[in-house]
Chain A
Amino acid sequence: MNSHDPFTLALSLILSGDPGLFGIIQLSLQVSLSAVLVASLIGLPLGAAIALFRFPGRGLVITLLNALMGLPPVVAGLLVYLSLSRAGPLGQFGLLFTPTAMVIAQTLLVLPIIAALTRQAIEDLWEEYREQLQSMGSGRVRAIPTLLWDARITLTTAVLAGFGRASAEVGAVLIVGGNIEGVTRVMTTAIALETSKGDLPLALALGLVLLALVAAVNAVAYLLGQASRRHMQ
């Protein structure tokens, strides 16, 4: 680490093929993508259901969901910590300080974003297609998959916003994962650690690597979107 230019350092970090760094990158992707997957499987149908159905307290649910988009990661981390701690309600599973705990915490952070944005997108679409779909005789439940599919471009953005939130947060994974080297250390906690050691160039270089990683995931999503658009034409 004799170079003090973060860009050179970032490049040499990647090119050196350091297994430690690749382990951290792999875990970061594994944790954040798992969280986004679980949150999408719950959040997409949930958001669509809230958009289509009228029930008492709906306004409250929508407000709550929108507010939870701003849930501080540290608070999410604390809630999961207290639940998974040996002294907590889910203590017997021994999940604290494991990647699973990190996935749970990030799911909690990503779910409101995906559900709230899905709710908005589907509600707009429903206004537009309501009569058409109803004249085809499909009920609201039947309409959910159709609407989700039609809104997929917008929803991709919602899911990517969720991924951005997951891959950028440090507060939740630090508390529930413990930043254990080789076990629960991810990109963001590694950056925080190097910053506290005063190795600012290395911290910044790791930040650049993370940024490149997130950009790569977004590029893949973009290309897939383009491909599916061409496929439709």
Chain B
Amino acid sequence: MRCFRRLPSIAALILLVAATSAQVTADTTFITLASTTSTDQSGLFRHLTPKFTERTGIEVRVVAVGTGQAFAIGRRGDADALLVHHRAGEDEFVAAGYGTERRDVMYNDFVLVGPRSDPAGVTGTQSIQDALARIAESESAFASRGDDSGTHRKELQLWAMADIAPAGRWYRQLGSGMGPTLNTAAAMDAYVLTDRGTWLSFGNRQNLIIVFEGDESLFNPYGSIPLNPERFEWVKADLAQQWHEWLVGEEGQAAIAEYHIDGEPLFFPMNTGAPSRVE
């Protein structure tokens, strides 16, 4: 069969493509960090990772996904470390042997954002439970992430605390990231729960403003977890451990504290004796 003569050249070409790409990855020392869209889109990593690379020579490649997907990447061993925000999920992840340990890194808080006209009358309520109850009673549009992210898990937890099972046309599950959800909420004047970091760096607010903030249950802690090399032998455990320790150490904590947008800090380090609540 003469047409098989083409096969070696095709194989060679595929190898060539693979080789040129592999070259890019081979000559740098790097770790893969699975993290959340909220941290990445706030611009924090662009501020943090160059400092770490300068100190250690290790490049940090950030794959920004929802917290649920970050756990899924971790459970398959496709990253070296995680930086996520869902405490219960993090503890479970480590307990199941996927990660070596979980350490507090930083926190910010969630805020409830809604249309300036505030049709549900949320402004001035005393607790987030009250605020959510008013939205449900008035059946004002509410945009939910609906994507098993850390923010979505938090939102479901808050509804449960308010003893409300949100359902109906006003409760819109978008199944998308924080930014797209904010874009959609802005377009349909809906209430939405967002982390403060993404909100501060978000550019398309239109009519939306913060309508509720400061409740203790809106606390949003982030944890770092290196993957367990006993479970995944290919994980760059040594490099990931250096990142993990830098992040919770003096230098990493200081770098987190000095990151501001428009004069406002986005994240607060956990290990400097700072108060456990924002504002």
Interface residues as binary, B1-45 with A (CB distance below 8 Å gives 1, 0 otherwise): 111001001100110011001101100000010000100010000
**CB distance A144 to B3 under 8 Å?**
yes
| Number of residues of chain B lying within 8 A (CB) of chain A | 40
With A41-B13, A97-B63, A196-B178 already in contact, the answer to whether A141 and B202 are too (CB < 8 A) is: no
Q: Which of A49, A95, A96, A178 contacts B3 (CB 8 A)?
A: A49
Determine, out of B130-138, B158-166, B179-187, B252-260, the stretch whose residues face the partner at the interface. Answer: B179-187
| CB-contacts of A2-50 with B (<8 A) | 34, 37-38, 41-42, 45, 49
**CB distance A103 to B201 under 8 Å?**
no
Q: Please give me the residue from chain B that is nearest to A88 by CB atom.
A: B76
Residue from A96, A141, A178, A198 whose CB has the most chain B CB atoms within 10 Å: A198
Interface residues as binary, B56-81 with A (CB distance below 8 Å gives 1, 0 otherwise): 00000111110000000000111000
| CB-contacts of A71-100 with B (<8 A) | 85-88, 94-100
Q: How many A-B residue pairs have CB under 8 A?
A: 93
Instruction: Verify if A179 is at the interface (C-beta below 8 Å from B).
Output: yes
**CB distance B76 to A85 under 8 Å?**
yes
**CB distance A197 to B201 under 8 Å?**
yes
**Distance in Å: Cβ of A108 to nearest Cβ of chain B:** 13
A178 to B65, CA, bound (A): 8
Instruction: Verify if A199 is at the interface (C-beta below 8 Å from B).
Output: yes
Q: Which of A41, A45, A97 contacts B78 (CB 8 A)?
A: A97
Instruction: Verify if B223 is at the interface (C-beta below 8 Å from A).
Output: no
**CB distance B3 to A198 under 8 Å?**
no
**CB distance B21 to A86 under 8 Å?**
no
Instruction: Verify if A200 is at the interface (C-beta below 8 Å from B).
Output: yes
Residues of B within 8 A of A195 (CB): 179-180, 183
| CB-contacts of B174-203 with A (<8 A) | 177-180, 182-183, 186, 201-203
With A49-B3, A196-B177 already in contact, the answer to whether A94 and B62 are too (CB < 8 A) is: no
Residue from A85, A97, A142, A200 whose CB has the most chain B CB atoms within 10 Å: A97
**Distance in Å: Cβ of A228 to nearest Cβ of chain B:** 22
**Distance in Å: Cβ of A40 to nearest Cβ of chain B:** 10
A49 to B3, CA, bound (A): 9
A34 to B182, CA, bound (A): 36
**CB distance A197 to B41 under 8 Å?**
yes
A195 to B17, CA, bound (A): 31
Q: Please give me the residue from chain A that is nearest to B180 by CB atom.
A: A196
Residues of A within 8 A of B201 (CB): 197
**CB distance B41 to A86 under 8 Å?**
no
A133 to B138, CA, bound (A): 77
Residues of B within 8 A of A97 (CB): 32, 61, 63, 78
A99 to B24, CA, bound (A): 9
**CB distance B61 to A34 under 8 Å?**
no
**CB distance A86 to B22 under 8 Å?**
no
A97 to B34, CA, bound (A): 11
**CB distance B13 to A197 under 8 Å?**
no
**CB distance A198 to B202 under 8 Å?**
yes
**CB distance A141 to B3 under 8 Å?**
yes
Instruction: Verify if B204 is at the interface (C-beta below 8 Å from A).
Output: yes
Interface residues as binary, A173-215 with B (CB distance below 8 Å gives 1, 0 otherwise): 0000011110100000000010111111000000000000000
**CB distance A183 to B179 under 8 Å?**
no
With A99-B21, A100-B18, A197-B201 already in contact, the answer to whether A180 and B62 are too (CB < 8 A) is: yes
Interface residues as binary, A85-121 with B (CB distance below 8 Å gives 1, 0 otherwise): 1111000001111111001000000000000000000
**CB distance A94 to B179 under 8 Å?**
no
**CB distance B78 to A85 under 8 Å?**
yes
Binding site for A on B (CB under 8 A): 1-3, 6, 9-10, 13-14, 17-18, 21-22, 24-25, 32, 37, 41, 46, 61-65, 76-78, 177-180, 182-183, 186, 201-205, 232, 234
List 10 interface pairs A-B (beta carbons < 8 Å), by A numbering: A41-B10, A94-B234, A99-B24, A100-B17, A178-B64, A179-B63, A197-B179, A197-B203, A198-B182, A199-B203
Contacts A34-B17, A180-B62, A198-B204 given; 17 further ones with Cβ under 8 A?
A: A38-B17, A41-B13, A42-B10, A86-B234, A87-B78, A95-B18, A98-B21, A98-B24, A141-B3, A193-B41, A195-B180, A197-B202, A198-B182, A198-B183, A198-B186, A198-B202, A199-B203
